[in-house]
Structure 1
Amino acid sequence: MAPVLPVLLPLQPRIRLAQGLWLLSWLLALTGGLTILCSGHLLVQLWHLDTFLAPSCPFTALPRLALAASAVALGTGLVAAGASRASLDAAQYPPWRRILGPLLGAGVAGGEGLLVLALGLTLALPGSLDMGLEEGLGTALAHYKDTEVPGHCHAKRLVDELQLRHHCCGRHGYKDWFGIQWISSRYLDPNDQDVVDRIQSNVEGLYLIDGVPFSCCNPHSPRPCLQSQLSDPHAHPLFDPRQPNLNLWIQGCHRVLLGYLENLTSTLGSMLAVTFLLQTLVLLGLRYLQTALEGLGGIIDGEGETQGYLFPSGLKDMLKIVWLQGGGAHRPAPEEVPPEEAPPKESLPET
């Protein structure tokens, strides 16, 4: 049974493999730590923007899975660094010799699997982020006026902080505020005829105005901010509603947040790809070093040449061995073997 992908490893290549693997392992640990920071940062940002994401949006699963995958990569790098350093000393290697096999299996099945799954989510979930922000922002703007409603009393503060921090206004633009009632009913005078006319003219009984909250104002504008009567060309002689409004934030919060979170996701995806590549190289190098030392009894500077390999035999032979060890070819137990029948005695002819 020929081994799979064998590589001849004399003494000097074995030592260089162990030294290079030690350096690569620490690089993997560093990359895993940076990936933890990236995934943690994305998770914190999603936690702050939780109000503006739909509860059914699955995007929050990405940073959690990336956090687990990068933690496994960090552990793999530290373990591989310790094993490669111990392989250079015959007195320190025996404890590692017994556990390297299970550690390699766990690294391939757990670490590589988590990284592949996390990379898949970075490609598949941005579409759900678009829909989640669309629904979440619409709900948050609709509850802007509910400052005294339990469960929604913080919506106004959160929306104002969002628009001031990210320099955005409305969901897709400042005109989104024209279609919702954002002024609380407690500030409306029921005796004012204008208020009564506006409420009665709306099918849903909402008080709608062509104005925006103060948080939509751009404080860097040289002119006073225009917040009301934005659709009336005669209300503000120097303001043209057909031109970009220099007093208000032009972009909607949906576009700003989507671009911001997609940039964080792109950075995290790049870190995951680098981590996956480094972890693959570390696991391959550790496997070749392990199998090479097994041929020398665990002594890296042992006499003679040895070879490292991925698997001791081909896939067909390995499946056959597993089948036989698992009882595929059932052999009856000794007590199940039927006793051999004695040969019939020959009858003597009568004289």
Structure 2
Amino acid sequence: MAAVLPLPLALRARVRLAQGLWLLSWALALTAGLALASGAHLLLQLGRLSPFLDPGCWFPALPRTALAAGAAALATGVVGAGAARASLDAARYAPWRAVLGPFLLAGTVAGGGLVAAALGLALALPGGLDAALEKGLGTAMSHYKDTEVPGRCEAKRLMDELQLGFRCCGRHGYKDWFTVQWVSSRYLDPNDQDVIDQIQSNVEGLYLIDGVPFSCCNPHSPWPCLQTQLSRAQAHPLSEARQPSLNLWARGCHGELQRHLRGLSGSLAAVLGVTFLLQVSLLLGLRYLQTALEGLGGAIDGEGQTQGYLFPRGLKEMLKSASQQGLCAQRPGPEEAPAQEAPEEEEEAPAEA
């Protein structure tokens, strides 16, 4: 039965393979460290932006999986470097012969599986950010006025910091503030006729105005900030009527946050992709080196040319052997045969005689 993907390895090729795997191991450790740093940075960013995401969003699972995958890849790189270095000396390689096989299996199943899962999440999850940000930003804007409500006291400060930090206004633009009450009720005079008329002008009984919070103002604008009566051109005769938001942030926070998080996840996906390729290459190289050294009794400088392979025989033969072993295990042995028929034959023999 032929081995799967055999590769003949002479002495010089074995030494170069071991040296190359040592360098590849540290390259994997470096990319795994970058994956850990990228995952931690994304996790911190999501912790800061969590008030503007729907609580049912699955996107926070990405950095957590990336951290686990980075830790597994880092361990694979460090252990792989030790195994590759020890393989250059038969005496130092002897303790590795018993643990290298389980390490390769664990690195392939656990380490490779985690990196592949994190890479898949980095490519798939950003597609769900649109709906999560739409709902989360809408909730945050509706709680902007609740400065005295327990559990929502920080909503105003967080929204102001978001708009100033990302240079955005509203969900998709400054006009989104026209549809929510963002002025706290504590600043409204219930006896003022204008306030009463404004509240009664909509079915929901909200105090809606055509104005925006101060955090929508661009501090670098040469004009004074126009926060109120933005839909009335007559209220601002000196401003450009066709561009009422010259001194406001022109872009909405939905697009800015989406671009920001997609950029972070894209960078993480690139790092995870390189990590996955390096990890697969390292595990394959270690497998070839392990099987080649097993043919020489663990000595890399053994005489002659040996052969490395992935599996000792083909997949068909391995499955057939496993099925045969299973059938043999289910078939009763000679000692398990029924013992009732033998006494009957012995009783019938004297009668025939």
The TM-score normalised by the length of structure 1 is: 0.95
Distance apart, 1:346 and its partner CA: 10
The residue number in structure 1 matching 2:135 is: 135
Is the deviation greater in 236-245 or in 73-82? 236-245
Distance apart, 1:147 and its partner CA: 0.4
Q: Deviations over 1:199-223 (max 9, x none)?
A: 1112111111111100001011111
Contact 1:29 1:74 survives alignment (8 Å): yes
The residue number in structure 2 matching 1:252 is: 252
Answering whether residue 255 of structure 2 is matched by residue 265 of structure 1, we say no
Residue type matched to 2:186 in 1?
Answer: R
Answering whether residue 216 of structure 2 is matched by residue 203 of structure 1, we say no
Question: CA distance change for structure 1 residues 227 and 244 in 2, over 3 Å: closer, same or farther?
Answer: closer
Residue type matched to 1:319 in 2?
Answer: L
Residue type matched to 2:126 in 1?
Answer: P
Question: CA distance change for structure 1 residues 329 and 234 in 2, over 3 Å: closer, same or farther?
Answer: same
Distance apart, 1:243 and its partner CA: 1.9
Residue type matched to 2:194 in 1?
Answer: D
Contact 1:53 1:137 survives alignment (8 Å): yes
SS state at 1:152 partner: coil
Distance across 1 between alignment mates of 2:69 and 2:310: 24
Question: CA distance change for structure 1 residues 107 and 241 in 2, over 3 Å: closer, same or farther?
Answer: farther
SS state at 1:321 partner: helix
SS state at 1:58 partner: coil
Distance across 2 between alignment mates of 1:239 and 1:322: 83
Distance apart, 1:244 and its partner CA: 6.0
Answering whether residue 243 of structure 2 is matched by residue 243 of structure 1, we say yes
SS state at 1:297 partner: coil
Is the deviation greater in 107-116 or in 143-152? 107-116
Q: Deviations over 1:88-139 (max 9, x none)?
A: 1111111111011111111111111112222221222112111100100000
Answering whether residue 329 of structure 2 is matched by residue 336 of structure 1, we say no
Indicate the RMSD between aligned Cα atoms, in angstroms.
1.9
Distance across 1 between alignment mates of 2:319 and 2:133: 49
Residue-pair matches, total: 349
Q: Deviations over 1:130-153 (max 9, x none)?
A: 110010000000000000111111
Distance across 2 between alignment mates of 1:173 and 1:241: 17
Contact 2:230 2:244 survives alignment (8 Å): no
Answering whether residue 125 of structure 2 is matched by residue 125 of structure 1, we say yes
The residue number in structure 2 matching 1:107 is: 107
SS state at 1:140 partner: helix
SS state at 2:247 partner: coil
The residue number in structure 2 matching 1:169 is: 169
Answering whether residue 27 of structure 2 is matched by residue 27 of structure 1, we say yes
Distance apart, 1:328 and its partner CA: 5.1
Distance across 1 between alignment mates of 2:185 and 2:350: 117
- Alignment map for 1:1-351 (pairs within 5 Å): 1-243=1-243, 245-327=245-327, 330-337=330-337
Is the deviation greater in 265-274 or in 323-332? 323-332
SS state at 1:125 partner: helix
Distance across 1 between alignment mates of 2:316 and 2:328: 15
SS state at 2:276 partner: helix
Question: CA distance change for structure 1 residues 347 and 253 in 2, over 3 Å: closer, same or farther?
Answer: closer
Residue type matched to 2:85 in 1?
Answer: R
Distance across 2 between alignment mates of 1:338 and 1:233: 103
Contact 2:142 2:182 survives alignment (8 Å): yes
Distance apart, 1:325 and its partner CA: 3.7
Distance across 2 between alignment mates of 1:164 and 1:310: 57
SS state at 2:301 partner: coil
Residue type matched to 2:193 in 1?
Answer: Q
Distance across 2 between alignment mates of 1:209 and 1:230: 9
Distance across 2 between alignment mates of 1:287 and 1:93: 14
Distance across 2 between alignment mates of 1:94 and 1:106: 20
Question: CA distance change for structure 1 residues 347 and 49 in 2, over 3 Å: closer, same or farther?
Answer: closer
SS state at 2:91 partner: coil
Distance across 2 between alignment mates of 1:266 and 1:149: 38
Q: Deviations over 1:244-267 (max 9, x none)?
A: 622110000000000000000110
Distance across 1 between alignment mates of 2:91 and 2:164: 63
Contact 1:323 1:329 survives alignment (8 Å): no
Q: Which runs of 5+ in 1 are unaligned?
A: none
Residue type matched to 1:237 in 2?
Answer: P
Q: Which has a greater percent of helix?
A: 2
Distance across 1 between alignment mates of 2:255 and 2:196: 35
SS state at 1:262 partner: helix
